[in-house]
């Protein structure tokens, strides 16, 4: 029987979009169409993503139906609010696909970081030269934002300190925007002792102009322009020197000798883990796929080329493994 086969086959059932009618039919336990019949026949978890006109959503009948579904442990995702297909404004919009996936992953993946606080830095920093110019780099922030999402999916409370990027904040992440390396340093150090894990994805400028001119520097035809640069503070190393410190993960973006430089950085910066990748033309920065070679004091693992969202999940699995291993040696 088709509906029974499907009901047994599915690990999860997600109804997206779920109309007011589909929701009412689930409540009644109807079997006169395939969807209602297989939901009734399945023991798998069910998620419902409502999408309907805002008046239909706020109608007591629909609200009562939603309460009944929730009391049966059916997961309700959304709805979002905004402009609707009918032209009205209000609650009832289908949640964005990416946010549906995030919520589903949160529901499906064992939440190993429940109750843990994770701090992530992402993106580039801009070091001003004058009011219109700055020294920056090609970091897009994509990896850091993907890592923030993966930490959220693992159940953590996530704070993200981001340099200037064109990315939207994953819903549920607490984001602080900064521009310079000093601002990123101040934001990280403000309450670093509150965090269990610190993941430094940001491509922070290593140098900043000694002087920031108050007015735009004018072009002179016949003389060179020299900028004197001063080193910025190394944030991840400073965190590693704290008495009470989180589990620390650094990144190493290199154009050559990736493995050697990464291992050296792991040691020099006193990190618990470092994720190394090769950067250059069309690899590493501002692209959607990446691969990582991850090192920790007693081992290493290659995470093969994958979209950054998947790579971030694989990295998070590794971080959780090493974090748990360190925690158990600390407690034994
Ligand atoms: O030394 P390098 O900049 O290559 O090290 C990269 C790692 O150090 C990254 O994790 C980066 O976020 C971190 N870093 C930092 N503060 C700086 C420079 C780099 O935390 N000023």
* Domain locations along the chain: 2-107, 112-331
Mean pLDDT of 11-38: 95
Question: Which residue in the list 39, 86, 106, 201 is annotated as catalytic?
Answer: 86
Q: Do domains 2-107 and 112-331 have the same CATH topology?
A: yes
Angstrom distance (rounded) from CA 270 to CA 226:
35
Residue 331 pLDDT level (bands cut at 50, 70, 90)? low
Angstrom distance (rounded) from CA 300 to CA 76:
40
Asked if pLDDT for residue 262 goes beyond 70, the answer is yes
Q: Report in angstroms the alpha-carbon separations of 85 from 92, 93, 100.
A: 10, 8, 19
Q: What φ, ψ does residue 125 adopt, rounded to 5°?
A: -120, 155
Residue 203 C-alpha to ligand 1 middle, in angstroms? 6
The region of weakest confidence among 67-81, 94-108, 164-178 is 94-108
Q: Please report the pLDDT score of residue 286 as a whole number.
A: 61
Query: Does the domain at residues 112-331 carry the CATH identifier 3.40.50.10300?
Result: yes
Residue 320 pLDDT level (bands cut at 50, 70, 90)? very high
Atom of ligand 1 nearest to the CA of 249: 10
Query: Does the domain at residues 2-107 carry the CATH identifier 3.40.50.1950?
Result: yes
| Ramachandran assignment for 12, one of left (phi > 0), alpha (psi -120 to 50 degrees), beta (any other) | beta
Mean pLDDT of 40-57: 95
Mean pLDDT of 152-162: 94
- Give 97's DSSP letter: H
Nearest partner of 197 among 40, 43, 315, judged by Cα: 315
Most confident of 20-24, 68-72, 139-143, 301-305: 20-24
Asked if pLDDT for residue 281 goes beyond 70, the answer is no
Q: Give the Cβ contact number of residue 138 at 10 Å.
A: 11
39 is catalytic: no
Q: Report in angstroms the alpha-carbon separations of 80 from 97, 103, 288, 327.
A: 11, 13, 27, 39
Nearest-CA residue for ligand 1 atom 4 is 252
- Give 16's DSSP letter: E
CB of 202 closer than 6 angstroms to any ligand 1 atom: yes
- The separation between CA 278 and the C-alpha centre of its own chain, rounded to angstroms, equals 21
Looking at per-residue pLDDT, the higher value among 268 and 171 belongs to: 268
**Any alpha helices (H) in 287-331, and if so which ranges?**
308-331
pTM of the model: 0.76
Q: With contact defined as beta carbons under 8 Å apart, do 163 and 328 qualify?
A: no
CB of 200 closer than 6 angstroms to any ligand 1 atom: yes
Nearest partner of 152 among 179, 174, 136, judged by Cα: 174
CB of 250 closer than 6 angstroms to any ligand 1 atom: yes
Angstrom distance (rounded) from CA 248 to CA 277:
17
Residue with tokens 């001119």: 213
Angstrom distance (rounded) from CA 45 to CA 206:
49
Q: State the average pLDDT for the chain.
A: 92
The tokens describing 119, both together, are 């701090």
Asked if pLDDT for residue 221 goes beyond 80, the answer is no
Asked if pLDDT for residue 289 goes beyond 90, the answer is no
């Amino acid at each position: 029987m088709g509906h029974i086969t499907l009901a047994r086959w599915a690990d999860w059932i997600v109804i997206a979009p779920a109309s007011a009618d589909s929701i009412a039919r689930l409540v009644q336990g109807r079997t006169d169409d395939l969807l209602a019949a297989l939901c009734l026949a399945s023991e798998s978890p069910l998620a419902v993503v409502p999408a309907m006109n805002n008046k239909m959503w706020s109608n007591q009948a629909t609200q009562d139906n939603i309460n009944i579904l929730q009391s049966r442990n059916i997961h309700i995702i959304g709805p979002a609010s905004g402009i609707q297909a009918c032209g009205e404004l209000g609650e009832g919009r289908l949640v964005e696909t990416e946010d549906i996936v995030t919520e589903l992953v949160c529901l499906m993946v064992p939440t190993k970081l429940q109750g843990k606080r994770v701090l992530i830095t992402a993106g580039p920093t801009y070091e001003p030269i004058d009011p219109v110019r700055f020294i920056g780099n090609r970091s897009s922030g994509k990896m850091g934002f993907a890592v923030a999402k993966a930490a959220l999916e693992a159940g953590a409370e996530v704070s993200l300190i981001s340099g200037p990027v064109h990315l939207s904040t994953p819903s549920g992440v607490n984001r602080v925007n900064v521009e310079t390396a000093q601002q990123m340093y101040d934001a990280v150090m403000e309450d670093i002792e509150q965090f269990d894990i610190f993941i430094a994805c940001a491509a922070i400028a290593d140098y900043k102009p000694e002087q920031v001119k108050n007015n735009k520097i004018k072009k002179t035809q016949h003389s060179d322009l020299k900028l004197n640069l001063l080193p910025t503070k190394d944030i991840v190393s400073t965190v590693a020197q704290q008495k009470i410190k989180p589990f620390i993960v650094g990144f190493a973006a290199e154009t050559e000798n990736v493995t050697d430089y990464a291992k050296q950085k792991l040691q020099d910066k006193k990190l618990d883990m470092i994720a190394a990748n090769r950067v250059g033309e069309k690899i590493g920065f501002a692209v959607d796929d990446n691969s990582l070679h991850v090192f920790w004091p007693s081992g290493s693992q290659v995470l093969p080329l994958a979209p950054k969202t998947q790579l971030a999940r694989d990295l998070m699995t590794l971080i959780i493994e090493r974090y748990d291993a360190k925690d158990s040696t600390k407690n034994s």
